[in-house]
Amino acid sequence: MLWLLEELGLEYELEVHRRHPTTMRAPPELRKIHPLGRAPIMVIDGEVLAESGAIIEHCVETFDDGKLAPKSGTADARRYRYWMHFAEGSMMAPLLVRLIFDKIKSAPLPFFIKPIASGIVKKVETNYTKPEIDNHLSFVESQLADRDFFAGDAFSSADIQMSYPVQAALSRGRSEVSTKNLTAWVARIRERPGYLAADARGGPSMGLG
For 65-88, the pLDDT digits (tens) are 999 999 999 999 999 999 999 999
Q: What confidence score (pLDDT) does residue 24 get? A: 73
The rounded distance, in Å, linking the Cα atoms of 206 and 183 is: 20
> What is the structure's pLDDT at 208?
47
CATH superfamily of 2-63: Glutaredoxin (3.40.30.10)
Write down the pLDDT at residue 77.
Answer: 97
- CATH number for the domain formed by residue range(s) 75-206: 1.20.1050.10
Residues present in the chain in total: 209
Q: Which pTM does this prediction carry?
A: 0.89
Contact assessment for residue 50 and residue 36, using Cβ atoms and an 8 Å cutoff: yes
Residues of the chain predicted below pLDDT 70: 204-209
pLDDT digits (tens, 9 = 90+) for 151-176: 999 999 999 999 999 999 998 777 88
* pLDDT score of 67: 94
pLDDT of 205 reads 45
Question: What's the CA gap between 142 and 155, in Å, rounded?
Answer: 18
Distance in angstroms (rounded) separating the CA atoms of residues 127 and 121: 10
- 49 DSSP β-pair partners: 42
The domain limits of the chain are 2-63, 75-206
Rounded to whole angstroms, the Cα distance separating 32 from 114 reads: 38
Helix (H), strand (E), coil (C) string for 86-139: HHHHHHHHHHHHHHHHHHHHHCCCCCCCHHHHHHHHHHHHHHHHHHHHHHHHHH
> What is the structure's pLDDT at 136?
95
